[in-house]
Amino acid sequence: QAQLAESGGGSVQAGGSLRLSCAASGYSWMSCMGWFRQAPGKEREGIAFIDLSSTTYADSVKGRFTISKDNAENILYLQMNSLKAEDTAIYYCAAESAAACTRVGGMWSASYVEKWGRGTQVTVSS
């Protein structure tokens, strides 16, 4: 059965770093993959994604977060540096089979995600 499994979440103080991993199994590596997050009371938002043509970041994480892929191991990473309290959320790995992630307003739309991970909690204390 195809699945995405996140790991690496946890609690950290503001200014610290975490690295999230997403292991993909059970299906061919999807061309569009990335990360969404959802804070309490807020909508799920796309923050970083990578496809065949580009790598894109939300303004809120640009310069602090880095997304990367290990194609040989089928693992997607999110390196998060200079973490802030407002980064506290559940982080979800996501995938879409299109060559280019389907965008709405310049960012990957959750409506087009075909596969979700179960999420991992990131808590940043100030």
Burial (Cβ within 10 Å: 0-12, 13-18, ≥19) of residue 36: buried
The residue to which tokens 């997050």 are assigned: 37
Residues 44-95 have pLDDT tens digits of 999 999 998 899 999 999 999 999 999 888 899 999 999 999 999 999 999 9
Pairing of strands 45-50, 120-125: unpaired
Burial (Cβ within 10 Å: 0-12, 13-18, ≥19) of residue 100: middle
Determine which of 26-40, 43-57, 92-106, 109-123 has the lowest per-residue pLDDT on average. Answer: 26-40
